[in-house]
Amino acid sequence: MTDTDFRSGFICFVGRPNTGKSTLTNALVGSKIAITSSRPQTTRHTIRGIVHRDKAQLILVDTPGLHRPRTLLGQRLNDLVQDTYSEVDAIGMCFPADEKIGPGDRWILEQVRHMAPKTPVVGIVTKIDKVGKQQVAAQLLAVSKLLGEDCEVVPVSAASGEQVEVLIDVLVSHMEPGPAFYPDGELTDEPEETLMAELIREAALEGLGDELPHSLAVVIEEITEREGRTEKQGEMLDVHALLYVERPSQKGIVIGKGGARLREVGTAARTQIEKLLGVKIYLDLHVKVAKDWQRDPKQLGRLGF
């Protein structure tokens, strides 16, 4: 093989909740395309982030975390994960530097090896900016022991950017020579509506209790261009979105006292969406109850699952 060969391929990151998978995706792509939240199971769609380098292109598939399913939605999310594992060229398994390896990590590795026995696994020790060098070294050894000595292990900090390029080089080394799948400059193949819905969902989940993550779905109803704007004012979009919850009590939580919570959600989401689209937006949010939507195949389909 000559050094002019271009390499490309698909990668997904796995790991327990909060191991830094989505933050890492955003750091590698260089833009916010995956929602990050301290709540487990917040990623709902396989968002593809695209990493462009002179002689390589990596497509990062951000899957929902693997978990033991309790609802039809849970089962569908797991099926989505299984399909992804069997189709990617490499799997990056994330372990935070500040947490010991536990039964959850071993269970996920077992599932990965069962679903994709031939796919190479790269160990990634995340959040190295949070601990000292000794702790990082100890975690690297522990991860290497768990994955086996044939697997490469890379320490990285998505927050500071330390070792991000090293990780990209290691991942590229597992790709076959092949063409670029996406044009230069394109960062994701997700429709903008999906990304907008995810950003609203992220803002709504921030600071809420455990009962909501699975129960919240966001649908973008309509996007229209605001008419009558002068050139000086610039373009503006009106975005109308519905937040679906399963119970009236949850509706109250999302809206907050006198609508205060929903206004906060709107402000936070609007800032992120304006960054994404590069234009001013007016964001109109409404909360609706769709009783037990996670267990109802019809409603799941309507809400995009």
- Residue list for the binding site for GTP: 15-22, 62-66, 126-129
In the annotated binding site, the residues are: 15-22, 62-66, 126-129
Alpha-carbon gap, residue 102 to 149, rounded angstroms: 19
Amino acid at 205: L
How close are the terminal C-alpha atoms of the chain, in Å? Answer: 43
C-alpha angle 127-109-8 in degrees, rounded to nearest 5:
75
Give the CA distances from residue 142 to residues 105, 106, 124, 159, in Å, rounded to whole numbers and listed in that order: 12, 12, 12, 23
Count the residues in the chain. 305
Among 25, 94, 106, 74, CA closest to 213: 74
DSSP 66: P
CA–CA distance from 176 to each of 137, 172, 192, 279 (Å)?
31, 8, 30, 38
